[in-house]
Chain A
């Protein structure tokens, strides 16, 4: 593995740095955990693998790190197949969920370890360790043991250790899972900034969608061993390609029905309660197929008379959340229909049991597969 300098932050996704080529993985020879993975990650990219537990995302990461072997297919790192390269020769930094800081070593020793096994001289080692510690603002903690540090501090050290030997690729396996909410959000920004400053490629695994949206250049949504959608965060949220992604990313209202007409992009759907509405045909199949319409709560307007797709709604519940009010309504027979009413001046005041009108644009309703 040739030594590479931390790359300048050119997020050039065309020059694939990591490639998964038709990768399959099975542990027991009966079921596939990863079904058919094709994924290329550009140099300097921050890619997040997002999915529920058991979706195969961690397995993909472990295959990339070299702790699991692909049952089929090829993984390429910087153009070279790495299936037969042992983990220690891959030169990939990794941050583990439980940090995996060596408990019998001090912070300095932990950080010096990857440099030591590379045969680096003592002076150079010390300089690099010092620099890495300062990078994560932990300069004074070099002589402590991991057990003497708080969770957030351990997290920083784990990060510094994965970066200290200047790897071009860093893998992170749910690194913030053990931290409390506030610290987690803070660390998200720090990791993002480190990534931007160092220009490294990061593959990040998480099941927390807000984490994925905050940090990533692109997000690969995993489910059932398959990438359901690979897209930048905004696109993922705004334009989910199937009902799993729509459901998994952010809040979502779903209305099930049958396509009765297609007019260009716009599908007319007969809902289960017999009424019809129009939606953007994304992934709904032809006329006659079942579909699920996905509408984001914030794209629904309340009490707007006579808008498109206007229908009556009964207020079931109101929850005051400060910046907005969360209303649960019954719409087209679905009583889990949620609408966010911004707490702006002159917003409509609803009360439970009241019947009102809701409407949304056909472009904001996406007709997806039936799930």
Chain B
């Protein structure tokens, strides 16, 4: 016997570990090259956009750098005012020097044709600021000292401490203010964090609604999918195949078609209401409003997301041998007890997978709520889209999206703690 403590070697004296590594290196290299395209794809289309989004949610150079649209040349702007902010702590009353710096910067902005974009940046956090900037920049060159009075003559709002607080916040390209805004918070004049006016609080309410609706939709999907999946798993194969096609049919139909067909069915002059009226169950004037509200969102999304619950459940139920339930029955359990104690626990991994899938999809759902959600059936994704396409406040959109992402990751972590990710079975 060789000495146990000495490292093992191959017949020609090479260390065994090194020999093994070199023997496997080729296979490893080949495996790596095989997944390389996917890796590049994922990096390019998944990791990079998310990283960029996260960056954008804390970075907005609208008040610090001007990028010329034609040449792409970057010019620092608001230099004087930013210097003043740096010298004076938050809460300082803006003095003559501050106004002088502001006017000098406005002159520069006018030359760069940039007052609009800078105004927009401030407008994100304080409504009505954009016009103040464009108006002031037009006249800035002609203003005489004392600048404070001159500016206040133009618009009294220039003395608003909130405006100065916003400008101070924007004077650094990196800021967490978008996250504050996304959580219905803001900094007051002293720089401390307070919640915004009650009638301007939208985001937290929407996050809560998104969460609750998604949970409800997940639960409804579970209720509907469980019996279907069970039927699919227990029917003879030729019957279950047909049924499976019905389950998958929605998958093969355009999302838009499915959503609009719900509009046809549920609208106040739609099929369902007409039938109810025709059969005399409903009065003609008491037609039920089932669409363009939360009900519409819930019905349409439950329908669309149902297959995502059915499939994992089915894949878990199919291999469960019927003899388990039979054994439980023969051991004295009623059919309910046999289901509860024996069958159901074995389907939990499928429930977990389906619920997680449906929930995550529901939380980020956009098209369906946009089409059938009306006013109170909108979800947070609709607001993100609004900030992306309408208000063009990409930083806020990014902050909202990042909070959504973070929330899902937290839920995912919770799920892992409670159920265990390795119990997940997608098929």
A residues contacting B by CB (< 8 A) are 65-67, 86-94, 96-98, 100, 102-104, 113-114, 117-118, 161-162, 165, 171
- Can you offer 8 A-B residue contacts whose CB atoms are under 8 A? A65-B330, A67-B329, A86-B335, A93-B331, A104-B345, A113-B331, A117-B333, A162-B331
Asked whether A113 lies within 8 Å of B328 as measured between CB atoms, the reply is yes
Asked whether B330 lies within 8 Å of A87 as measured between CB atoms, the reply is yes
Q: With A and B bound together, what is the CA distance between A54 and B326 in angstroms?
A: 20
B5 within 8 A of A: no
Chain B residues lying within 8 Å of A162, measured Cβ to Cβ, are 330-331
313-342 of chain B: CB within 8 A of chain A: 321, 323-324, 326-335, 337-338, 341-342
Asked whether A94 lies within 8 Å of B327 as measured between CB atoms, the reply is yes
Contact-size category for B: 10 to 19
Asked whether A88 lies within 8 Å of B332 as measured between CB atoms, the reply is yes
Closest 9 CB pairs of A and B: A114-B331, A100-B327, A94-B330, A100-B323, A87-B329, A117-B333, A96-B323, A104-B345, A117-B332
B289 within 8 A of A: no
Q: With A and B bound together, what is the CA distance between A86 and B331 in angstroms?
A: 12
Of B331, B334, B335, chain A has the most CB atoms within 10 Å of the CB of: B331
Asked whether B330 lies within 8 Å of A102 as measured between CB atoms, the reply is no
Asked whether B332 lies within 8 Å of A91 as measured between CB atoms, the reply is yes
B75 within 8 A of A: no
Given contacts A67-B326, A94-B327, contact A114 B321 (CB under 8 A): no
Given contacts A102-B342, A103-B346, A104-B346, contact A113 B333 (CB under 8 A): yes
Chain A residues lying within 8 Å of B335, measured Cβ to Cβ, are 86, 88
Chain B residues lying within 8 Å of A92, measured Cβ to Cβ, are 330
Output the nearest chain B residue to A104 by Cβ-Cβ distance: B345
Q: With A and B bound together, what is the CA distance between A188 and B205 in angstroms?
A: 69
Chain B residues lying within 8 Å of A88, measured Cβ to Cβ, are 329-335, 338
Chain B residues lying within 8 Å of A171, measured Cβ to Cβ, are 330
Q: With A and B bound together, what is the CA distance between A91 and B342 in angstroms?
A: 19
CB distance from B231 to the nearest CB of A (A): 19
Chain B residues lying within 8 Å of A89, measured Cβ to Cβ, are 332
Chain B residues lying within 8 Å of A86, measured Cβ to Cβ, are 329, 334-335
B residues contacting A by CB (< 8 A) are 321, 323-324, 326-335, 337-338, 341-342, 345-346
Q: With A and B bound together, what is the CA distance between A165 and B327 in angstroms?
A: 13
Asked whether B332 lies within 8 Å of A100 as measured between CB atoms, the reply is no
Chain A residues lying within 8 Å of B329, measured Cβ to Cβ, are 66-67, 86-88
- Beyond the given A91-B332, A100-B323, A102-B327, could you list 20 further A-B residue pairs with CB under 8 A, ordered by the A residue number? A66-B330, A86-B335, A87-B326, A88-B329, A90-B330, A93-B331, A94-B330, A96-B323, A100-B321, A100-B326, A102-B324, A102-B342, A113-B328, A113-B333, A113-B341, A114-B331, A117-B331, A117-B332, A117-B333, A165-B332
Q: With A and B bound together, what is the CA distance between A165 and B332 in angstroms?
A: 9
Chain B residues lying within 8 Å of A102, measured Cβ to Cβ, are 324, 327-328, 342
CB distance from B348 to the nearest CB of A (A): 8
Chain A residues lying within 8 Å of B324, measured Cβ to Cβ, are 100, 102
CB distance from A248 to the nearest CB of B (A): 27
Chain B residues lying within 8 Å of A104, measured Cβ to Cβ, are 345-346
Asked whether A96 lies within 8 Å of B326 as measured between CB atoms, the reply is yes
CB distance from B234 to the nearest CB of A (A): 14
Chain B residues lying within 8 Å of A100, measured Cβ to Cβ, are 321, 323-324, 326-327
Chain B residues lying within 8 Å of A94, measured Cβ to Cβ, are 326-327, 330-331
Q: With A and B bound together, what is the CA distance between A66 and B334 in angstroms?
A: 13
CB distance from A23 to the nearest CB of B (A): 19
CB distance from A267 to the nearest CB of B (A): 48
Of A86, A114, A117, chain B has the most CB atoms within 10 Å of the CB of: A117
Output the nearest chain A residue to B333 by Cβ-Cβ distance: A117
Q: With A and B bound together, what is the CA distance between A89 and B334 in angstroms?
A: 8
CB distance from A112 to the nearest CB of B (A): 10
Q: With A and B bound together, what is the CA distance between A113 and B331 in angstroms?
A: 8
Chain B residues lying within 8 Å of A91, measured Cβ to Cβ, are 332
Output the nearest chain A residue to B321 by Cβ-Cβ distance: A98
Of B323, B324, B332, chain A has the most CB atoms within 10 Å of the CB of: B332
CB distance from B15 to the nearest CB of A (A): 36
Output the nearest chain B residue to A118 by Cβ-Cβ distance: B332
Chain A residues lying within 8 Å of B341, measured Cβ to Cβ, are 113
CB distance from B45 to the nearest CB of A (A): 40
Asked whether B333 lies within 8 Å of A98 as measured between CB atoms, the reply is no
Chain B residues lying within 8 Å of A87, measured Cβ to Cβ, are 326, 329-330
Chain A residues lying within 8 Å of B326, measured Cβ to Cβ, are 65, 67, 87, 94, 96, 100
Asked whether A93 lies within 8 Å of B330 as measured between CB atoms, the reply is yes
- Contact among B332, B334, B345, B346 for A114, CB-based, below 8 A: B332
Output the nearest chain B residue to A1 by Cβ-Cβ distance: B332
Of A86, A93, A104, A171, chain B has the most CB atoms within 10 Å of the CB of: A104
Q: With A and B bound together, what is the CA distance between A161 and B326 in angstroms?
A: 14
Q: With A and B bound together, what is the CA distance between A277 and B209 in angstroms?
A: 94
CB distance from A154 to the nearest CB of B (A): 13
Asked whether B345 lies within 8 Å of A98 as measured between CB atoms, the reply is no
Output the nearest chain B residue to A173 by Cβ-Cβ distance: B323
Output the nearest chain B residue to A161 by Cβ-Cβ distance: B331
Output the nearest chain A residue to B334 by Cβ-Cβ distance: A88
Q: With A and B bound together, what is the CA distance between A96 and B326 in angstroms?
A: 9
CB distance from A156 to the nearest CB of B (A): 15
Chain A residues lying within 8 Å of B321, measured Cβ to Cβ, are 98, 100
Output the nearest chain A residue to B346 by Cβ-Cβ distance: A104
CB distance from B73 to the nearest CB of A (A): 66
Q: With A and B bound together, what is the CA distance between A162 and B324 in angstroms?
A: 13
Chain B residues lying within 8 Å of A67, measured Cβ to Cβ, are 326, 329
Q: With A and B bound together, what is the CA distance between A124 and B324 in angstroms?
A: 25
Chain B residues lying within 8 Å of A93, measured Cβ to Cβ, are 330-331
Q: With A and B bound together, what is the CA distance between A96 and B323 in angstroms?
A: 7
Chain A residues lying within 8 Å of B330, measured Cβ to Cβ, are 65-66, 87-88, 90, 92-94, 162, 171
- Contact among A66, A90, A96, A118 for B327, CB-based, below 8 A: A96
Chain A residues lying within 8 Å of B332, measured Cβ to Cβ, are 88-89, 91, 114, 117-118, 165
CB distance from B127 to the nearest CB of A (A): 58
CB distance from B166 to the nearest CB of A (A): 58
Q: With A and B bound together, what is the CA distance between A98 and B327 in angstroms?
A: 11
Chain B residues lying within 8 Å of A65, measured Cβ to Cβ, are 326, 330
Chain A residues lying within 8 Å of B338, measured Cβ to Cβ, are 88
CB distance from B309 to the nearest CB of A (A): 21
CB distance from B411 to the nearest CB of A (A): 24
Q: With A and B bound together, what is the CA distance between A346 and B334 in angstroms?
A: 67
Asked whether B337 lies within 8 Å of A117 as measured between CB atoms, the reply is yes
Output the nearest chain B residue to A92 by Cβ-Cβ distance: B330
